[in-house]
Structure 1
Amino acid sequence: MRFFPLLVATLIVLAALGGVASSGDAPFDHPANWGGTGLLEIPNARVIPYGHGRAGVAQVHPYRYYYGVLSPFPGIEIGGRVTEIIGVGVPETWKNYGYYKDRAVDLKVQILPEGKYRPAIALGVMDPFGTRLYGAQYVVLSKQIFPFDFTLGVGSGRLGRKPLDEGDSGFELFHSPGVWKDARLFGGVEFAPSEKFSLILEYSPILYHRHTQDPAQPKYFRSEVPSPINFGLRLKPFRFLDVTLSYQRGEVFGINGSVDLEIGKPLYPVVAQPYEEPEERAFLPIEERVAMALLDMGFSDVGVLKEGDWLYVEFQNDTYLYAPRAMGMVLWTLQGLLPEGVGEVELLYKVEGVPLFAVTFSKEDLIDFYNGRLTLDEFYSLCRFDFDPIEPPRRTKPRGLKRFTYRYKPAFYTFLNDPSGFFKYRAGAEVWGRYRLGRGTALAAGVGVFPINNISSVIRPLSIPVRSDIVDYIDNKFLLEYLMLEHTRRFSGQLFGYVGAGYLEVQYAGVNIQGAKSLFDGRLLVGFDTSLVVKRAPDEILGLKEKTHYTLLAKARWHTPVEGLSVDLKAGRFLAGDSGLRIQLNKDFKGVIISVWYSFTDTSVFDDPYNRNYHDKGIMVSIPLQMFLGRDSRDRALYALSPWTRDVAHDTYHRDVFDFMDEGSKLMLDKKRNDVRVWEDWKEGGWE
């Protein structure tokens, strides 16, 4: 135990006198066994870089960890993990499930970053809401004297003398000082003489033999482990890859491999290419030249009209993820085409034929902006925006109208943690098609074909099965995902409406109606959302059941001042008849949107113990496919993790009119205005 006095004395001296610290937490911001940033078994005060995500697998017998970690805000990391206990089984009724598995969510906040004379300090809570088999709470500090990083902390629960109580709130360190009477000290040091590797030495406070709630304890930890000292070698063969080899507890070797990626960074750069006009078009009227150019650049429903020195252009964005990038492509194209006779230009931006906004500027200002004589902010200040264009202001003859459009993508979905098997899945392809009947009106259909599908469940539907019978639908190899008529309408005063009728989703058919208004330049959206639906028959493509359900919800979306963070609220009656509130937080990382949600509803309508007093919760990731394609695309891939076997706080799955409104709001154009300069990457790449 001489290790601790020496470490404590060292850190006290460092905190008082300071030392030379390298910038940030690197290179000591790598994963511990369970995925959170730390050494081996203990955390340090470092956090994963903001906007990064980490995924990995580790094994230190008898534990195997599967984890994911991300930093949604500077100084904060959130992790999710599954702990598998090798050799420890589950009840016989859970055959094919494999070994025992525990799920948990962890949170760490770096309350004080490292300074020249002070250490970094962090607070952490492990598994505050789950089973708390491996729950812990800790305060830890770390200090660099490069290439050394020293860590000292104190922890309770898993890191203390006894486990935390399952019934507590999960955040006892903030309101129950008594939890620290069973706390223990921990510490360690990491030595990084090279960017490619580092050496780790730590003292682990975990008393494995005393944690009797751990399913591994009766089989593996009946007596004290041989040593609390752990050793590790961390390898960094590539910037994104981390491999840690270790010898822990004086008896077992371990390995931990993880990948760290910047969220939203494309695998292949999406570099815009300029429009090159064929020579034979140079003698055509300017209306035809502009229309043909925009059609070549991926736009549709293009109308162009020249009146005197005024050029009016309307177009629909079918290709670019966000409106500012689409506008940038139009500006880039126009600056090389506009003849001497044009003085003013007006652009009208449309989606599905519905006008979202218009912008007017002079040809001279556009040329100065492109050539660098005007900054982006200066050009924006000279533009005149209209964010309430009800009808196209000019009569044109649009060309390139795409009546029928379709998209397809490979599809892979998981079904996790069922007693009949922890990991189940379906793989195949999905195809969606739309036939445009008029402005904002279309017939839409989507099908899924899953030739590889092993999804099944031994869990039966609950008392009001609005979602807990989902397996009866998704175990099919062919799915009619939706078939409906939908209409989106814009009214004056920033009012929008949406109606969808037909087979709305895999489980429900009926009608969905939404109305919404934009306030404060799009920072706040308010509205209502109601559905009247009938359950579909799972084994008949177009079959319906008799029982009806309805929702009646007020909703709002607030785009907070925090970069990329928005909050969605739904309040009212949900599908099963439970009333209450659902809160969803959305964080945008360069186009990748990560959402988490939690519900508070009156669950007394349910007769079963699984839905009673339950709070629906989950996480969803929306990924732009252009990250993998190396070209512009509006398509996204969605992946969500949520308990399908519960029925609390559920709505039908349908289009959200808020997403439609966001695309053309002043707030969104201001936030992503840098995307207008699409030609910058092309110029910097030396292709000009």
Structure 2
Amino acid sequence: MSGALLGPVRRLFGMAALIAAGAGALSAEEAPHLNSFGLPGLIDMPNGQPLPPDSLSLTLFGFDGEYRTTLAYQITPRITGVFRYIALPGADYFDRSFDLHVLLAEEGEIMPAVRLGLVDFGGTGLFSSEYVAATKEIAPGLELTGGIGWGRLAGRGAFANPLARIDDYFADRPEGRTIEDTGRIRADVFFRGDAALFGGVRWTPTDQLSFAAEYSSDTYPFEGRRLGFTQDSPLNVSASYRFANGGELTAAYLYGNTIGISYGRTFFPGNTAIPGGTAAAPPPLVPRQSAEALGWTLPASAPVRGPDLLELSLGTLGLGSQGLTVNGSEAVLRLENPTYFPPSQAIGRAARVMANTLPASVETLVIVPVVAGMPTSEIRLRRSDLEALEYDLDGAWLSYARADISDAADQPVLEGTGFRWALAPILRRSYFDPDAPLRLEAGLALSASYNPTPGLFFSGQIYQPLLGNLDSIRRRSNSILPHVRSDSALYAVETETEITWATVEQFFRPGPNLYGRMTVGILEQMYGGASAELLWRPASSRLALGAEVNYAVQRDFDGLGFRDYDVITGHASAYYDMENGYTARIDAGRYLAGDWGATFTLDRVFANGASVGAFFTLTDVSFDDFGEGAFDKGIVISLPVQAIAGTPSRVRITEVFRPVLRDGGARLNVRNRLYDLTAEYGTPQLGESWGRFWR
């Protein structure tokens, strides 16, 4: 591998591995054996087994001038999604592709595990193939695999397609793709044309060691043409060593004349690195009369403001108050939570602080989480319930059952948060440029905000790059659409000190179950303008509906002025929070290039806040006019810092793996969209995380 490419690929894999380090790696006994394409399999060939449910795998493989980085996610117990990046630097060729694999049958006493796969169905078609594979353990540690493949997997020992006996449609496979077909889903080739058999055996004598041998039906035709790669044998053999962290290193002797090396790791993004965490312990409840006798309570006046005992106690836990009102036996706290995910942990800690500091006469504790100056949900708790359930084995469930959670639109927020600022390092990334698969830029970002009254924010960020190679991008857009995103690299090239955003935002509650936002100023790196949004999200519902309208003006590449391009864009959105952490979303409307269409998104959010999602956008821009990639699509992985460090934090690391950034289906990147701000505070969402109430 050339030094120019090896470094970026290592860094790409290393960055993903760094994120993975914070998640729960599978043990040596649990982790599957991954093949050179990053899937459960033999060496090059797939097998019939899926990844473990909810797991994510990362694989790096290289041999004789070809290098593959694969990210695979077990979307459901039966469906696996794959994104793969392949480099042939000697041929000056770089390839991005997607797979979809479906488990048809689980392994039983007699039945083998059976899996069907569509390989490279949404890329260039370099590896376009389909297969059905079956795997069965015939003795402890000994597995047999057999399969039939089409497309590229029908290169050796091909025979007439058996499906042609059902319909002549399957007899012939359409010709290969051209560059214009890149990114299109070519369903017309699936399972068509000649077929071929493949198979092999895997022996795993110990938890650490594994050996495999296979007969491959792949003749590597593209590599033969572009790299001069030849095969002396269809047989491959490999030896693998499994480390204690679940990672597996494999060395393979391939096709009778070359060596391949791979490293793969499978982990659960929903597991934290430090399950117990290292947060400060919450305060234990103190009996009411004892607390009052010790002088730990606040005066029973309304409203109570200033640096009082309650605010100081909240502050030691990383929480804040935006107003406390005590009225007879009821106290209402407007709670700010910059620290804890999920918010149920913040609510539980705030409830104990209230119980320990308020007069003994206060029985009803009302906590109103405040986000961007907006009251979200109203959580009503009885103080006597807290005292009775603190040490109850079913305390979490019983406290939730006795809590009353409703919409808090009628609860006024009494205070703003004032002036705040932060100076933080920033690492920017650019993926999949053929000249450099990964570009990095490190810099410092100075952010500041002023919140004088509830909901009104003046904020901005200045970014200063310090080192990196983002500004060395030389490729220029060939898009025939308005260059609303495809010129994004020019902002890094021509800007020295960047105003990332500078906005005035007003957040408000226009009525029950309604949230509103208005934003004006420099909205993002490429655009300024104005944005307005309205969201309907009942506290007790999993369904939310929203609408957004924007007027966007493209900024100059140096960031100091504006270009002669403006557009009105906006979307109507529907969100549905399904059980088990799945959220489905549809955004339909007008995009930055003036095209009309819809974006479809599916996210899986785990209990620790980590999420894995995928999206695609279809608009009235034709695949030909869109250009390379055919339509916008990608994978999003987001991991809370607390899942890595084990300390409470709402900061997240988010990576968007988009094969190519073009102009069709491009949206404005407005900060603080309402659903993302408020989604955690509905009754169903709080109920799913209420187990952390007593943490």
> TM-score, normalised on structure 2?
0.84
Corresponding residue SS for 1:292: helix
Which one of 411, 433, 436 corresponds to residue 426 of structure 2? 411
Measured after TM superposition, the shift of residue 332 of structure 1 is 4.3
Following the alignment from structure 2 to structure 1, what is the Cα–Cα distance between the partners of residues 216 and 30? 22
1:586 corresponds to: 603
1:312 corresponds to: 332
Following the alignment from structure 1 to structure 2, what is the Cα–Cα distance between the partners of residues 137 and 219? 24
- Unpaired runs of 5+ residues, structure 2, are 1-26, 159-172, 300-307
2:228 corresponds to: 220
1:301 corresponds to: 321
Write the deviation string for residues 375-402 of structure 1: whole angstroms up to 9, x where unpaired: 4332222222222332249xx7x6xx63
Following the alignment from structure 2 to structure 1, what is the Cα–Cα distance between the partners of residues 208 and 223? 37
Contact 2:441 2:469 (8 Å CA) reproduced? yes
Corresponding residue SS for 2:592: coil
Which one of 153, 160, 164 corresponds to residue 154 of structure 2? 160
Matched, 1:255 2:256: no
Contact 1:267 1:630 (8 Å CA) reproduced? yes
User: Which deviates the most, 127-136 or 544-553?
Assistant: 544-553
Distance 1:574 1:86, change over 3 A: closer
Which one of 631, 636, 639 corresponds to residue 623 of structure 1? 639
Matched, 1:35 2:38: yes
Following the alignment from structure 2 to structure 1, what is the Cα–Cα distance between the partners of residues 371 and 349? 16
Matched, 1:495 2:514: yes
2:649 corresponds to: 633
User: Which deviates the most, 114-123 or 337-346?
Assistant: 337-346
Q: Percent of aligned positions with the same letter in both sequences? A: 24
Measured after TM superposition, the shift of residue 625 of structure 1 is 1.8
1:11 corresponds to: none
Measured after TM superposition, the shift of residue 25 of structure 1 is 12
Contact 1:135 1:164 (8 Å CA) reproduced? no
Measured after TM superposition, the shift of residue 215 of structure 1 is 4.1
Following the alignment from structure 1 to structure 2, what is the Cα–Cα distance between the partners of residues 76 and 357? 36
Following the alignment from structure 1 to structure 2, what is the Cα–Cα distance between the partners of residues 205 and 235? 26
2:581 corresponds to: 564
2:166 corresponds to: none
Which one of 570, 595, 600 corresponds to residue 552 of structure 1? 570
Matched, 1:371 2:391: yes
1:236 corresponds to: 242
Following the alignment from structure 1 to structure 2, what is the Cα–Cα distance between the partners of residues 425 and 373? 50
Distance 1:87 1:308, change over 3 A: closer
- For 1:32, give the aligned amino acid: N
Distance 1:530 1:636, change over 3 A: same
Contact 2:429 2:438 (8 Å CA) reproduced? yes
Contact 1:30 1:48 (8 Å CA) reproduced? no
Distance 1:643 1:68, change over 3 A: closer
Following the alignment from structure 2 to structure 1, what is the Cα–Cα distance between the partners of residues 106 and 694? 35
- For 1:316, give the aligned amino acid: E
2:436 corresponds to: 421
Matched, 1:444 2:478: no
Which one of 250, 274, 280 corresponds to residue 281 of structure 2? 274
Distance 1:328 1:296, change over 3 A: same
Following the alignment from structure 2 to structure 1, what is the Cα–Cα distance between the partners of residues 486 and 294? 62
1:648 corresponds to: 664
Which one of 140, 143, 146 corresponds to residue 146 of structure 1? 140
2:546 corresponds to: 527
- For 1:415, give the aligned amino acid: S
1:200 corresponds to: 212
Following the alignment from structure 1 to structure 2, what is the Cα–Cα distance between the partners of residues 87 and 408? 43
1:93 corresponds to: none
Write the deviation string for residues 326-360 of structure 1: whole angstroms up to 9, x where unpaired: 11222344555566544332222212332111122
User: Which deviates the most, 272-281 or 144-153?
Assistant: 272-281
Contact 2:368 2:408 (8 Å CA) reproduced? no
Following the alignment from structure 1 to structure 2, what is the Cα–Cα distance between the partners of residues 408 and 461? 37
Corresponding residue SS for 1:118: coil
> In angstroms, what is the RMSD of aligned CA positions?
2.9
1:684 corresponds to: none
Distance 1:335 1:46, change over 3 A: farther
- For 1:273, give the aligned amino acid: A
Write the deviation string for residues 254-303 of structure 1: whole angstroms up to 9, x where unpaired: 21112322213333442432245999994243354433211221112354
Which one of 32, 54, 59 corresponds to residue 56 of structure 1? 59
Task: Please list, as runs of the form range in 1=range in 2, the aligned pairs for 1:121-136 lying within 5 A after superposition.
Answer: 121-136=114-129
Contact 1:299 1:316 (8 Å CA) reproduced? yes
Distance 1:188 1:157, change over 3 A: same
Contact 1:54 1:69 (8 Å CA) reproduced? yes
Matched, 1:115 2:108: yes
Corresponding residue SS for 2:75: strand
Following the alignment from structure 1 to structure 2, what is the Cα–Cα distance between the partners of residues 474 and 351? 33
Corresponding residue SS for 1:460: coil
Distance 1:644 1:411, change over 3 A: farther
Following the alignment from structure 1 to structure 2, what is the Cα–Cα distance between the partners of residues 111 and 521? 37
Distance 1:449 1:164, change over 3 A: farther
Contact 1:131 1:166 (8 Å CA) reproduced? no
How many residues get paired?
627
Distance 1:282 1:430, change over 3 A: farther
Matched, 1:504 2:523: yes
Write the deviation string for residues 544-594 of structure 1: whole angstroms up to 9, x where unpaired: 223321103211112234x21112211122111111111122121331222
Matched, 1:101 2:101: no
Measured after TM superposition, the shift of residue 453 of structure 1 is 3.1
- Unpaired runs of 5+ residues, structure 1, are 1-23, 91-99, 679-688
Corresponding residue SS for 2:67: strand
Write the deviation string for residues 77-99 of structure 1: whole angstroms up to 9, x where unpaired: 222222223532x3xxxxxxxxx
Distance 1:306 1:413, change over 3 A: closer
User: Which deviates the most, 290-299 or 186-195?
Assistant: 290-299
Matched, 1:77 2:76: no
Following the alignment from structure 2 to structure 1, what is the Cα–Cα distance between the partners of residues 359 and 515? 38
Which one of 285, 288, 298 corresponds to residue 286 of structure 1? 298
Measured after TM superposition, the shift of residue 29 of structure 1 is 1.8
Write the deviation string for residues 382-432 of structure 1: whole angstroms up to 9, x where unpaired: 222222332249xx7x6xx63122345432222233354333222223333
